[in-house]
Amino acid sequence: MQEAELSCEADSENYLGGSSETIMYYIGLDVHKKTISYCVKEAAGHVHREGKIGATRGELDAWIQTLPQPRMMAMEATIFTGWIYDHLLPHAEKVKVAHPLVLRAIAAAKKKNDRIDAGKIADCLRCDFLPECHMASTEIRDRRRTLRYRNLVIRQMVQMKNRVSGLLMESGVSYDKQRLHKMGYFSELFSTNEEISDSIRPLLRLGREHILRGQRLDRALISSLERDPLLSERLRRLRTIPGVGPITALTWALEIGDYTRFPSVKEAISYCGLCSAEKSSADKVMRMPISKQRNKHIQHVLVEAAKLAPRYSHELALLREKEIQRGNKNRATLAVARKLVAYMLAVDRRKQDFVPAEELAAKAVA
């Protein structure tokens, strides 16, 4: 009897519903630029099939036709994951994406290759031990790609501005640092200043053209995102918050994506990298510096916005002064940034324009 009961329990673990037709297969994928290693395992952990295919849509389609059903798939988050995730999503019960840093810690081993990695991902998926990360919708990822491309344009533009200033300093040319990259001043300096040698004039002209192209491209990209029907209303509500401009609103909407995945403000603050790491052992609690496990894009934008937001909000100005008295300016900036996260999350949840606490109090009294 005991053997029969154990056999029934094993069957119930391997099958969903008790029928051999409903066995679930778990597929781990180790994704690379040109190839994808895969491992198909049954619920009991037996390897059903493993191998390697090319990382193209055609080979994926042919490979999918040979797989048993029903199936679940998992892969590690890489630069190639997005299109593979979208392509496989209609062909599996679930497709999950694993956090690379946490997965690396779980699957650390002396021997490591693509076949072993695919098997370990399949095991994590099979045992429900996969450190899953959020995968934004295709629409949000497409628009986020545009915003990050805009960030690249801005970085290159700043590098070119620094290079133009460097050329002038190398040649001993006197100029107004604050006005250098304004159109009228640069044209006047270029045409009238005799200290600019002929050797750097072509380079200065090329640098100026690069900066102007970057500015035009920046305006075009931001304008296209602001007019997007998927984002326009959400951006309008976010910009009612004091200190939140177009770039901050766009970065929040596209980097956060689905705000419902954050059940609390603390989790949103942690995702934005605005809190310190914690190490606790027994009765000792140690607070470490700001954690590197964060979304660096939104962290940078929020910190920069927090430096200017107190100018537009009395509440944020009071918060900043309070934190400066307790610590220093960096601590005050982080406190303001955390408050901005709370404001934006509240606006998204309520789907209403932001109303300052002072106005709410006045309405309550009235």
pLDDT single digits (tens) 110-130:
777 888 888 888 989 998 888
Question: What is residue 360's predicted lDDT score, i.e. its pLDDT?
Answer: 74
Question: What is residue 36's predicted lDDT score, i.e. its pLDDT?
Answer: 93
Answer positive or negative: Cα dihedral of 315, 316, 321, 323.
positive
* Average pLDDT, integer, range 320-342: 91
Is the model's pLDDT at 19 over the cut of 60? no
Is the model's pLDDT at 156 over the cut of 80? yes
Closest of 151, 298, 152, 143 to residue 231, by C-alpha: 143
Torsion of CA 22, 74, 105, 114, to 10 degrees: 100
Kindly state the tokens that stand for 349: 């949840």
Q: 16: pLDDT confidence band, cut at 50, 70 and 90?
A: very low
Kindly state the tokens that stand for 5: 């009961």
Q: What is the pTM of this model?
A: 0.82
Question: What is residue 6's predicted lDDT score, i.e. its pLDDT?
Answer: 39
pLDDT single digits (tens) 228-260:
999 999 999 999 999 999 999 999 999 999 999
List of residues 6+ apart from 89 with CB closer than 8 A: 95
Question: What is residue 362's predicted lDDT score, i.e. its pLDDT?
Answer: 72
Question: What is residue 366's predicted lDDT score, i.e. its pLDDT?
Answer: 63
Lowest mean pLDDT among 66-80, 172-186, 199-213: 172-186
More confident residue, 102 or 76: 76
Residue positions counted in the chain: 366
List of residues 6+ apart from 102 with CB closer than 8 A: 131
What is the DSSP secondary-structure string of 288-351? EEE-S-S-HHHHHHHHHHHHHGGGT-HHHHHHHHHHHHHS-HHHHHHHHHHHHHHHHHHHHHHT
Question: What is residue 106's predicted lDDT score, i.e. its pLDDT?
Answer: 66
